[in-house]
Amino acid sequence: MKKLLSFFFVGLLNVFFFWIAFFLFNNAYHVLGALFLVLVFLIDFFIFNPKGYPYRYVAPALVLLTVFVIYPIYFTVKTAFTNYGTGHYMSKEEAIERLLYDPVYTYTIEDKTVQYKVFVAYDGLTPIHDDFLILFKIEGTLFIAEKPIPVKKKGKDVLLSEAQLVPIESSSYQLVPWSEELTEIRMITSGEKTYRAFYSPREEFLKLNAPLFKSRIAQFYLQRSDFVHPSGNKYALRIDRTGEWNFLRIERLYRLDLVQTLENDKPRTKLVVVNNRTNKPLIEREGSFYDVNEKNEEVYLIGYIDFVGWKNFLRILRDPRISGPFFKIFAWTFFWALFSVVFSLAVGLPFALVLNDPKLKGRNIYRTLLIIPWAIPVFISALVWRNGLLNESYGVINKFLLPALKLPAIRWMNDPFWARVGVLLVNVWLTYPYMMTISLGALQGIPYELYEAAMIDGAGKFRRFTGITFPLLMTVIAPLLVSSFAFSFNNFTIIYLITAGGPPIPGSTTPTGYTDILISYVYKLAFQAGTGQDFGLAAAISILIFFLVGGISYINFRFSGVFEEVGR
């Protein structure tokens, strides 16, 4: 029984993972979908093969590692070499599909509108907006169309729906009363089902339903729909020159065609997108399609994700609009991380030395009180500092403390120097308990005999600290200081909550501020840029941050090896 339950559980797990993989493949996440299939294979191997038994216990960690570490690294590296960002969100195939099927890329053949009337089914007195018919009068003939059916989809998005226009005589529907004039028809029946008149732009009474027609029917079912006439002509709902929603005859603006081109002086046949009105192929450049208007000017149409090589990395070095703020921000980020570690150690270590004194009474009480900043959630502490202490108008420092000392108010959020002092102050407050704790633990590991020998030699307290305590302390906490430096280097939370990177740097064309660190700069480029999002550049900077932090950490670890020699 136990074995059957285990097989049942594994079967459910396989079904779940295959469903995830299918969903990912269906939404164009092919790499992530393939990773899930590999995970299914590995998990089954771990469970059913005796050689894989020891690895069963790491399977959950392997799944989390793949989803939250391996794939994000792959995606970041891949994105860094593309133009992914505003105007370039989709693949080339998707962009071409948009040009071919999106109603935006259509044009009307003539301004003559087609008479139409919308009929809906009712549930009692309530109209059923997703069950409707549309009656058309085209060149004196009545045609009926049912609700359009999606014919082109991309994931959950419907690119194009279609409905056939059927002559009323050839359909199974009956008009009540029968008439050649749309205004006289009140109902349409089919068997026992009845559709009642709901909207018509030519009947004042039915025009009262215009808001419901536009919001419930037109927006959801007709905006991306073509109604196909038996002759092949297509009609679609558009806003005409009078501002009314009417059906007009339309044509697609673009088509795919084969053209002869010269590449390296050799003729080649190429599949391109062609303008149906001018019969000229679209201009394709740097991940975008351009058309030419009547004034022979290039007009941007749509962009797609394209491989750009090292362009994003070169922009960091060569584009002054990016390199200027980047190197300023990098310098501040380095000093921010360095000063955060140094100042928090400078505050935490003296407290640790005091608390390490066995003669101090009430050490547990002091230790508990001093660790409070570490116990309070960072978000709460940061917001208390920003709104309660550092606020320029009603903060405790500006409103009470500085006036009592007869000092002018400090512009914590608008002065570059004081904004940096403010974020450092908050970060030291939040991190000194950590430094105090690790220092206290390291101090308790130093043999007391060393101090006794030093006192016999006549060494004072300062000499004992510089010759014994500090060197031996650093052998233990140096790696922790390196990790603290790396954490502060990417400490997005404090910067975002206190100053949001401000105050802004004047003249900068990218969204940068004096307290921005590299990670907050990347965040702004990717998600808050006023001129658009640039995920490719943000990913490139993220990779640089990785190597910068790795390189600095390596140097720090080599430096900490000096203290290990002292320990030996």
Domain regions of the chain by residue span: 2-80, 100-252, 254-303, 314-567
DSSP count for the chain of H helices, then E strands: 20, 18
Q: Per the confidence metrics, is the pTM higher than 0.85?
A: no
**Long-range residue pairs from 240-248, CB within 8 A, at least 24 positions apart, any chain:** 240/111, 240/113, 241/111, 244/113, 244/201, 245/201, 245/213, 245/214, 245/218, 246/113, 246/114, 246/116, 246/201, 247/113, 247/114, 247/116, 247/136, 248/108, 248/109, 248/110, 248/111, 248/112, 248/113, 248/114
Write out the two tokens for 77. Answer: 């590296």
Strands 245-252 and 106-108: antiparallel
What Å distances lie between residue 462 and 61, 467, 519, CA to CA?
49, 8, 40
Asked if 224 and 151 count as a contact pair (C-beta separation under 8 A), the reply is no
> Which of 339, 480, 498, 474 lies closest to 412, judged by CA?
498
Predicted local confidence at residue 566, as pLDDT: 47
CB-facing half-sphere around the CA of 122: CA atoms within 13 A? 13
Q: Which residues, 6+ apart, have CB-to-CB distance to 259 below 8 Å?
A: 269, 270, 272, 274, 281
Q: How far apart are CA 279 and CA 261, in angstroms?
A: 15
Q: How far apart are CA 402 and CA 408, in angstroms?
A: 7
Predicted local confidence at residue 110, as pLDDT: 76
Strands 254-263 and 106-108: unpaired
Predicted local confidence at residue 51, as pLDDT: 85
Helix axes 470-489, 320-355, angle to 10 degrees: 140
Q: What is the CATH number of domain 314-567?
A: 1.10.3720.10
Asked if 382 and 491 count as a contact pair (C-beta separation under 8 A), the reply is no
Strands 193-199 and 115-123: antiparallel
We find that the CATH architecture of domain 2-80 is Up-down Bundle (1.20)
Q: Do domains 2-80 and 314-567 have the same CATH topology?
A: no
Q: Which residues, 6+ apart, have CB-to-CB distance to 236 below 8 Å?
A: 103, 106, 222, 225, 226, 227, 247, 248, 250
The distance in angstroms from the start CA to the end CA of the chain is 60
Q: Which residues, 6+ apart, have CB-to-CB distance to 195 below 8 Å?
A: 119, 120, 121, 131, 132, 133, 187, 188, 189
Low-confidence ranges of the chain (pLDDT < 50): 566
SS3 content of the chain, % helix, strand, coil (to 5): 55, 20, 25
Residue at 104: amino acid letter: V
CB-facing half-sphere around the CA of 59: CA atoms within 13 A? 19
Strands 225-228 and 234-239: antiparallel
